[in-house]
A and B are shown apart, each in its own frame.
Chain A
Amino acid sequence: MPITTTRRRLLAGSAAALALPAFARAQGAVKPRLTAISQWSAGSDGAAITALGKKFEEKGGVWQHSPVPGFTTEMMNKLRAQIMAGDPPACSQLKGPEIAAWSKIAPTVDLDAVVAAAGYEKVVAPDLAKLHKPGGKWIALPLQIYSTNMLFLSKRAMDKAKADKVPVTWADFNDLADKMKAGGVPYPVANGGTRPDDGQKFEAALAGISPLAYRAAIMKLEKKALEGPEIKAAFAQVRKIADWMDPNVGAQHFSTNLKRFVDGDMGMMIMGGWAQGVLRNAGFKFEDFIIAPGPSDNSKPVFLLNADAFIFWQRKEPDLQAGQTLMAQLVMDPAIQTMYSQITGSIPVRTDVDLSGEGWSDGQRRTAAALKDAIASNQAVLSLAHNMAQENGMTAAMIDVITEYVKNKTIKPEQAATRLAEAVEGAR
């Protein structure tokens, strides 16, 4: 087959010609290169990852970030397509139990050596560390932490209620809401109408009532806990919250109503720490609102963890491998985590970063302190609404029940608890 031979030779020749520059680079010092995808394209998220890219370039790397704007799931669709095409990015955004699920469909990088070299493991919350080493080896690195159950209080609404005490327990919360209503605040609870919003109301309620029950029912899906009295109590609390919300919000994003919140037309908001960044971005001052840990019936802070992370996908190219090592070192670096969190309003993953300096807000300091306390009292749990506690399919099945309950006032708490247990069974 002379023709085939020639064609093969031609192919081999052109492949060699193409590979030559890469080979030459590999012979000398490899210039680290990183291909990365994430959903962070705009606002403070976009600014933060751009700043990270700058740092990467300062260290002599080539930064190739392709943002996929929109929901996390849209980023995942791109990731899925790239993995199926055999061309995964060197590094991609991914978080929670999805790290374990996705690591089964494509080989990931073993980061144990670089993590050990940085002494990182002992400064990360244990529950969080577990998510990033599903097979016992580090394959992903958390980047920043948010609490999904921070309590934002509108100063003007507090004035209307003639209250100055920050509520600690759910009873305090309910009390304050009643006072606000009596003081002329039409809607004591500010909210959006999206699925994660509704989910956050429920997880904040349950974790605040009993972190133990939350861990057993939501994180471990124990049948007994799912049918326990705490779930019903949490749904009952959610009904109270829902009654204080503006029903006209429909499917709006929580940020739509921030002005009404600051104006004292709405009183309290249970939202993730990122709302601080959004409020600041919208031009509101720190004097306009108070940030505190979400209500907790045992008075010790409960921390609902939401952490963004990067997972590293195996690549053969030496420059990409060098880029992955550099990226891992940067992500664990306290200075980089400080820079990142100060832009986005989150708190660093490392529990040893000092937040007393300039550039940190009181809210961030309080959040970091709450995390420390919560870890100490074993009250740091993983967020359901933000896909940290369960894989997407299970999360969605549970949020279906919660969001319907929030919007449909004829459903009784007992019914909702039964439906939640059924939804879990159905999605298993």
Chain B
Amino acid sequence: MSNAAAIRPGRPALPEWVRRLPEYLMIWVPLLLSAAHLVSFSLWTIWISFTPSTLIPVSGWVGLRNYSAVAASRNWQIAFDNLLLFGSAFVLLSLVTGLALAILLDQRIRGENVLRSVFLYPLAVSFVVTGTVWSWLLNPGLGIQKLVHDLGWTSFKFDWLIDRDMAIWTIVIAAIWQSSGFAMALFLAGLRSVDTDIIKAAQIDGAGPIRIYRRIILPSLWPITITVVVIQLQFAISTFDLVRALTNGGPGIATQLPALVVYDLMFQRSLLGRGAAAAVLMLLILLAVLLPYAAWRYVQRRRAAHA
């Protein structure tokens, strides 16, 4: 409408800002609202983490006492170690699985659409459902181990769910099942966007398929790889519902993760101050992933602008 008014002859053109008002409104209002929401609640949480709040938020100042209490607790230490293990194993394995699936699907096979949906489907399932189903599958008395025993191989053992050293891997397994399809979809899109002329040129030069993948296709995938890594990492850091449904932090407290600790402190133990401190620590971990990513993006853009 504003454009039409501007083109119509014989009328003074509306000022620039009036014509662009709808655009401004559409961009800035939601942006400001969500930023205000995000920032104000983050600041609020940071403030609470320095107060002696327990049942309800109260003012007061206890300095870093909540932080030292959280950092000294066994729950947090176990959760942090688990996060390192779970985060790296999950990201790496889902990357490898996703890439492998994408490459296999990229062979112009029949039924690709069906297979793609099958692999992507777990993503549509809620994490609570994934966790519950895998808790049955992995339970030695009900699931895979029992099945193999019933088939006759009675010495077979697969009891990671109740083994406190291995239980964290059951979460890795379930998380990979859930989200490697997502990595696959991104990689597949990447594979399809590689310039076919280059591939044809390589074929004419006599390069075999393995060499083409290794030297041409995979190197062009690395921006997508970084995107997948960052998305999966931030998922790993904030994992909550999956663990809650699968192991609920157990056996004992062997599969605690930071988000579980935050929830536990705030809502089970009614220690708002400590819970907020744990939440802020989680935010810091997240920033440790996101800031380098943002820096990398910035460098990339600068480089692209100069090229």
Q: Which residues of A contact B75 (CB under 8 A)?
A: 400
B250 adjacent to A403 (CB under 8 Å): yes
Which residues of B142-172 have CB atoms within 8 Å of chain A's CB atoms? 142, 159, 161-162, 164
Cβ of A73 within 8 Å of any chain B Cβ, yes or no, is: yes
B143 to chain A, nearest CB (A): 10
Cβ of A250 within 8 Å of any chain B Cβ, yes or no, is: yes
Given A248-B139, A248-B141, A396-B268, A102:B55 Cβ within 8 A: yes
Which residues of A89-106 have CB atoms within 8 Å of chain B's CB atoms? 101-102, 104-105
Cβ of A80 within 8 Å of any chain B Cβ, yes or no, is: yes
A407 adjacent to B250 (CB under 8 Å): yes
A-contact 0/1 string along B116-153, CB 8 Å cutoff: 00000000000000000001000111100000000000
Cβ of B69 within 8 Å of any chain A Cβ, yes or no, is: yes
Cβ of A50 within 8 Å of any chain B Cβ, yes or no, is: no
Cβ of A413 within 8 Å of any chain B Cβ, yes or no, is: no
B270 adjacent to A250 (CB under 8 Å): no
Cβ of A15 within 8 Å of any chain B Cβ, yes or no, is: no
Number of A residues, CB within 8 Å of B:
33
B247 adjacent to A251 (CB under 8 Å): yes
A250 adjacent to B139 (CB under 8 Å): yes
Cβ of A246 within 8 Å of any chain B Cβ, yes or no, is: yes
Partner-contacting stretch, out of B20-28, B251-259, B286-294 = B251-259
Q: Which residues of A contact B69 (CB under 8 A)?
A: 426
A93 to chain B, nearest CB (A): 15
Cβ of A13 within 8 Å of any chain B Cβ, yes or no, is: no
Cβ of B88 within 8 Å of any chain A Cβ, yes or no, is: no
Given A247-B162, A426-B72, A407:B251 Cβ within 8 A: yes
A250 adjacent to B135 (CB under 8 Å): yes
Contacting A392 at CB < 8 Å: which of B74, B141, B162, B268?
Answer: B268
Cβ of B269 within 8 Å of any chain A Cβ, yes or no, is: yes
A76 adjacent to B247 (CB under 8 Å): no
B270 adjacent to A407 (CB under 8 Å): no
B-contact 0/1 string along A369-403, CB 8 Å cutoff: 00000000000000000000001110011001001
Q: Which residues of A contact B97 (CB under 8 A)?
A: none
Chain A minimum-CB-distance residue to B72? A426
A100 to chain B, nearest CB (A): 11
Q: Which residues of B contact A76 (CB under 8 A)?
A: 267, 270
CA distance A407 to B269 in the complex (A): 22
CA distance A80 to B267 in the complex (A): 10
Given A84-B56, A400-B75, A426-B73, A248:B252 Cβ within 8 A: no
B interface secondary structure, majority: loop
Q: How many A-B residue pairs have CB under 8 A?
A: 82
B74 adjacent to A400 (CB under 8 Å): yes
CA distance A74 to B268 in the complex (A): 8
Chain B minimum-CB-distance residue to A194? B248
Chain A minimum-CB-distance residue to B75? A400
B251 adjacent to A250 (CB under 8 Å): yes
CA distance A74 to B267 in the complex (A): 8
A404 adjacent to B55 (CB under 8 Å): no
B252 adjacent to A403 (CB under 8 Å): yes
Q: Which residues of B contact A408 (CB under 8 A)?
A: 164, 251-252, 254
A407 adjacent to B135 (CB under 8 Å): no
A265 to chain B, nearest CB (A): 11
Q: Which residues of A contact B251 (CB under 8 A)?
A: 193, 250-251, 407-408
Which residues of B259-304 have CB atoms within 8 Å of chain A's CB atoms? 264, 267-271
Q: Which residues of A contact B164 (CB under 8 A)?
A: 407-408
A52 to chain B, nearest CB (A): 27
Cβ of A213 within 8 Å of any chain B Cβ, yes or no, is: no
The 3 closest A-B pairs by CB, nearest first: A248-B141, A404-B252, A407-B252
Show the binding face of A for B, using Cβ within 8 Å.
71, 73-74, 76-77, 80, 83-84, 101-102, 104-105, 193-194, 246-251, 391-393, 396-397, 400, 403-408, 426
- Known contacts A84-B56, A194-B248, A393-B269; 19 additional CB pairs below 8 A are A76-B267, A80-B56, A101-B270, A248-B140, A248-B142, A249-B141, A250-B135, A250-B161, A250-B250, A250-B251, A251-B135, A251-B250, A251-B251, A391-B270, A396-B268, A403-B250, A404-B253, A408-B254, A426-B72
Show the binding face of B for A, using Cβ within 8 Å.
54-57, 69, 72-75, 135, 139-142, 159, 161-162, 164, 247-248, 250-254, 264, 267-271
Q: List 6 A-B contacts (CB under 8 A).
A: A194-B248, A247-B159, A248-B162, A391-B270, A426-B72, A426-B73
